[in-house]
Amino acid sequence: MQLTIPSNIWRKIMQYAQIASPKEVTGIGLVELDPETDDHYIVKDVFLPQQSANEVSSEFSETGLHDIITDVITNDISNATKLRFRWHSHGKNNVFFSAIDNADIEEWKSDWVFNLIVNAKGEYRVRFDQMRPIRIRNHPVELHINYLDGSDSMAAVQELQRKVTFTELPNPIPPKGGSILD
């Protein structure tokens, strides 16, 4: 299973985490299945609900969370089924799923959710949890941060193509009966 986060969304999450640090911060987001695959998901947007936070926890306000859900659904009713991404920072601390994180995941209301923990240093852990029809906890996820999105990446690609010539390494295995020194 793969989860891709576009670079603009990754930067937004990391900015929230770094600005809030050493305090924690939590958010939610929209996830869609890549239409060309059956196990590759893409984060489409993230949101920051009203919350209270300290160095070891953060908690949404009920109205803050409801306001985001209402806005997201008002813009597009199909988004109701895409609110399946929970992200959370641990400030300057290590990235792991704490007992509080696990309890928050258990209270998630949809059938499944991707969970991302980051810290201000850019370290992260990600997992997938399915709530129904059977409970699957902590399913491993391969995270891709897509830095090749947007016009800034196209400029980098073009400069790279102009300035770098890629070559092949010589074959390190000598021909049969020969020596690497030949």
Higher per-residue pLDDT: 175 or 93: 93
In a domain, 163, yes or no: no
Which CATH number characterizes residue 30's domain?
A: 3.40.140.10
The pLDDT tens digits of the residues spanning 102-158 come to 888 888 888 999 999 999 999 999 999 999 898 989 898 999 998 776 666 677 777
Three-state DSSP class for residue 48 = coil
CA 39 from centre of chain: 15
In a domain, 170, yes or no: no
Q: How confident is the model at residue 174 (pLDDT cuts 50, 70, 90)?
A: low
In a domain, 180, yes or no: no
Give the E-state strand segments of the chain in sequence order: 2-6, 25-33, 40-47, 51-53, 58-60, 83-89, 112-118, 124-130, 136-140, 142-146
pLDDT of the residue at 2 = 95
Domain of residue 20 covers 2-147
In a domain, 11, yes or no: yes
